[in-house]
Amino acid sequence: MNINFTKYPDGLVPAIVQDANTKTVLMLGFMNKAAVDATLAKGKVTFHSRSKNRLWTKGEQSGNFLNYISMKEDCDQDTLLIQAIPEGPVCHMGTDTCWGEDNNNSTAFLNTLEQIIADRKKADPSSSYVASLFAKGINKIAQKVGEEAVELVIEAKDNNEQLFLDESADLLFHYLILLQSKGYQLADIVKVLAQRHKP
C-alpha cells in the first residue's frame, strides 16, 4: 500500500471498517501510520484517537475487538477500507454498528465459503476433500452434486428436519464447488435470477 498520510493536516486518513463476512459497514475511525502498523502487527484494528491523541485499539476496554482481515486504500490513496471480524457490538452504545443497524446477514457467509473453496482448490488433494474433488474433474463433481440432490429429495419426504437441513447444506456446498469448477460464482447465478425478475 502507498497511503497518502500527507493529504490532511493532522496526518490522519479516514478508515471505514466493514464486516468481512456480512459486508456491513461497522464504523468509521481515523488512522495514522502508527495505527496502520499496530493493526498489522497485532491483528486487532487500531485507530488514532483524536480526542485522546494516542493510539486506540477498538475493544481495549470493552473486549469487543475488531479482528483484522485485510486493508486497502481507495483510488486517491487517502481513505482506507478495512475488512474485520467483530467480537460483539461495535458501537459504544451497544449496537452492532455505529449507525444502529443489525449485523446479521447470515447468507453473506456464502461469500466466505466460496473463498474457502477457492483456497482449498489449491491444496494437496491428499489432505483436502475439496482439492480431491477438483483433482478428479468435472464429471466426479457433477456426479457428487447429483448424489446430494437425490439424498435431499429423500430426506424431504421424511420428517427428520435435521437430516433435511444437513442434506440441504451438503447439496449447496457441492453446488458451490461445481460452480467454481465451471468458472462461476454464486453472484453469477444471482445475476441471472435478478434479470428474470421483472417487477
Q: What is the CATH number of the domain that holds 93?
A: 3.10.20.810
Same domain assignment for residues 114 and 59: no
pLDDT in tens, 73-104: 999 999 999 999 999 999 999 999 999 999 98
Assess whether 60 and 140 both reside in one domain.
no
Residue that the C-alpha cell 498520510 belongs to: 5
Residues 30, 50 within the same domain: yes
Domain end, chosen from 74, 103, 132, is at: 103
In terms of pTM, does the model score above 0.75? Answer: no
Tell me, yes or no, whether 94 and 114 share the same domain.
no
Residues 161 and 186 in one domain: yes
One-letter amino acid of 69: I
How many structural domains compose the chain? Answer: 2
Domain end among 84, 103, 122: 103
pLDDT tens digit sequence for 148-179? 999 999 999 999 999 999 999 999 999 999 99
Q: What is the DSSP letter of 123?
A: S
Give the integer Cα–Cα distance in Å for 131 and 50.
48
Please indicate, yes or no, whether residues 192 and 125 belong to a single structural domain of this protein: yes
Q: How many CB atoms lie within 10 A of CB 190?
A: 11
* 106 pLDDT higher than 90: no
DSSP string, 61-77: TTS--EEEEEEEE-TTS
Query: 116 and 77, same structural domain?
Result: no
* Residue found under cell 467480537: 87
- H/E run at residue 55: strand 54-57
Residues 64 and 138 in one domain: no
- Residues 3-55: pLDDT tens digits? 999 998 899 999 999 998 888 999 999 999 999 999 999 999 999 999 999 99
Confidence of residue 112 (pLDDT cuts 50, 70, 90): confident
The domain containing residue 50 runs over which residues?
A: 13-103
Tell me the backbone φ, ψ of residue 169, rounded to 5 degrees. -65, -40
- For residue 158, what is its C-alpha cell? 421424511
Domain check: are 158 and 145 in the same one?
yes
> 120: domain CATH number?
1.10.287.1080
Cα 79 to Cα 88: distance, rounded to the nearest angstrom:
25
135, part of any domain: yes
CA distance 112 to 123: 17
The dihedral built from the CA positions of residue 166, 168, 171 and 172, taken in this order, carries a sign that is negative
Question: Tell me, what's the pLDDT at 169?
Answer: 97
